Structure 1
Amino acid sequence: MLYKRTHMCGELRLADEGKNVVLNGWVAKARSLGGLVFVDLRDKTGITQITFNEDVPAEVIEKAKSLRSEYCVGVKGVVRERSSKNPNLPTGDIEVFADDLVVYSTSETPPIYIRDDDNVSDDLRLKYRYLDLR
């Protein structure tokens, strides 16, 4: 199933609280903390935190726990105000409480992450220069 996007990750703000949204993008980071799963979803406009809690069906939680970096996914959910705000992100005031998750495509974890602040050895950068140059 393919979800039709209603919003971009980087455009959601506190004014959107309570809206049902559909986001598509790539997993930037996923962390599982007991019954909660947090996913940073990235698209070309920015990053939004997605939260999966015990209110969603068990199969959705299991899918969320299996997410890895660079998986391409679609998420349906409701925008809520974040209890612990992140001032480092434009979307740091909100999070999306997910109702459903679709994994469009899996991916191998890249050998290097494409960021300016990474301390990657020159040998590794040279070996994967086709990734480093993009």
Structure 2
Amino acid sequence: MEDFARHGGHFCTKQKKMGSKIGGVELGRKQSDLKKSFKLAVRSLLTTCTAQDFSNAFPNFTRAEQERLHQIFLQVITSLHGNIEDEFESLCQELQVGTALDTVDQLVGEQCLDPLFSD
């Protein structure tokens, strides 16, 4: 159900937009968007390189050494992704990011700060 607040000749809505669930907890849309954006950013920054790129980077290594080094690199990148995402999740919980984003959303709705409602 939407609550309506009259402010400055505009009708503004206050509503909690729901996002996704993490660990059985419903996230607000903004918190869900933040987490998705963070994951995309991390994945784009920590990209893997091909076996050929590795061969070119380490031309003095044998083919077997290059392949093994590439496998280790992939394991490290995969582990790093997981660790960074887990740490981000932990920090979000510790700093109560979801609560802060929900509060900002509520204030925006109450004060008609939403650009969709501006003149």
TM-score range, shorter chain: under 0.3
Q: TM-score, normalised by structure 2?
A: 0.23
Greater share of helix: 2
Q: TM-score, normalised by structure 1?
A: 0.21
Greater share of strand: 1
Q: Which has the bigger relative contact order, CA under 8 A and spacing at least 6?
A: 2
User: Which one has a bigger Cα radius of gyration?
Assistant: 2
